[in-house]
Amino acid sequence: MLELSGIHKTFNIGTVNEKKALIDLNLKVNEGDFITVIGGNGAGKSTMLNVIAGVFPPEQGVITLDGVNVTKMAEHRRAGMIGRVFQDPMVGTAGNMNIEENLALANRRGKFRGLGWGVKKSEKEFFKEKLKMLDLNLEDRMGTKVGLLSGGQRQALTLLMATLIKPKVLLLDEHTAALDPKTASKVLSLTEEITSKENITTVMITHNMKDAIKYGNRLIMMMGGTIIYDVAGEEKKNLTVNDLLAKFEQSSGGEFANDRMLLG
């Protein structure tokens, strides 16, 4: 489905700030996988998602998505196959445009945009139905500017937009980290509901180890720009937070007591 092989990504090459973000990263994502990704700050989690999405190209390595080599494909071209939700709720939606305009933009992801109407009448019913699924009463506020919505509502809307056209892979970059716990769990259960209903292949970064264990069928742990632990199936189900902590400590040589992960 999605395969990363031998990916290297270095920022600020040749300067004192040179930072190797990904080092020989290999990952094979199978159709229908829901992978949770954990790892400390600077482990390369977000860089990995950005490389998949095409925000920047890797220096080395090949990315294939559904049999197509997308390594050098421009971000907006790749977008037709990839759904994304970002950590910052402001990033995923256009605040000055209303709900239906945002959805209409998402409904044309990967398609040719011509001089037809930006929001077609026939689409509106479809959008309404989809919005009802979110259970946030947004279906009655289709003309409301997205900027007037709360962070949680924007994140739920972004999630809907990312999956409106079924993506080949859905990339979630800590999409609940900026939300309060109650809203975060609501958005997470929505994520679960949508991805399982449509069987969407998903890669989700999280800082919350409980969530990482609770959701998905596979878990990977990253450190220093590469994957250090990859577990799936029964073994993953039986994991505990303590197991993960132990695994972490063992790999990092115990220097991780201050890490944000502990808060999860």
Tell me whether residue 15 is exposed, middle or buried, using C-beta atoms within 10 angstroms of its C-beta: 0 to 12, 13 to 18, 19 or more.
Answer: exposed
Bridge-based pairing state of the strands 60-65 and 2-11 = antiparallel
Q: Is 144 near other proteins (CB under 8 A)?
A: yes
Binding mask 101-130 for other proteins (x = CB under 8 A): x--xxx-xxxx-xxxxxxx-----------
Of the candidate residues 24, 95, 193, 249, the single one contacting other proteins (CB under 8 A) = 95
User: For other proteins, which is the closer residue by CB, 136 or 209?
Assistant: 136
Q: How far apart are CA 117 and CA 198, in angstroms?
A: 28
What DSSP assignment string belongs to 34-98? EEEEEE-TTSSHHHHHHHHHTSS--SEEEEEETTEE-TT--HHHHTTTEEEE-SSTTTSS-TTSB
- Give how far Cα 175 sits from Cα of 1, 113, 124, 170, Å: 23, 28, 26, 12
User: For other proteins, which is the closer residue by CB, 7 or 146?
Assistant: 146
Binding mask 73-92 for other proteins (x = CB under 8 A): -xxxx-xx---x-x---xxx
235-254 binders of other proteins (CB under 8 A): none
Q: Report whether 54 contacts 81 (CB < 8 A).
A: no
User: For other proteins, which is the closer residue by CB, 143 or 254?
Assistant: 143
Which tokens hold the place of 109? 């992801």
Of the candidate residues 97, 239, 245, 262, the single one contacting other proteins (CB under 8 A) = 97
User: For other proteins, which is the closer residue by CB, 102 or 226?
Assistant: 102
Q: Is 153 near other proteins (CB under 8 A)?
A: yes
Q: Is 161 near other proteins (CB under 8 A)?
A: yes
45-64 binders of other proteins (CB under 8 A): 53
Q: Provide the CA 76 distance to its chain's centre, in angstroms.
A: 16
Binding site for other proteins (CB under 8 A): 53, 74-77, 79-80, 84, 86, 90-97, 101, 104-106, 108-111, 113-119, 136-137, 141, 144-153, 161-162
